[in-house]
Amino acid sequence: MIEFIGYLASILVAISITIKGGFYFRIFNLSGSICFFIYGLFINSWPVAIINLYGTGINIFYILKEKIKNHKKLK
């Protein structure tokens, strides 16, 4: 099960770097970061967990920024 989470994280990050559009890149990268964070916790690897927690925060920031920008365009 733990290895599956690591493989899933790798696949999601690999998919994200092949996507040209920013929003979908962030969604796949966020999903991969979350999976890698969980994987890092399971294998007791703090460097993996911490850097992916940071990546999760960055992705959430840019997703919200894009949502706010699009919301303002609609008004």
What digits encode the pLDDT tens for the residues 21-74?
789 999 999 999 999 999 999 999 999 999 999 999 999 999 999 998 888 777
Domain limits of the chain?
A: 2-74
pLDDT at 75 over 90: no
Contact 29, 13 (CB under 8 A): yes
Contacts of 7 (CB under 8 A, 6+ apart): none
Distance in angstroms (rounded) separating the CA atoms of residues 27 and 8: 14
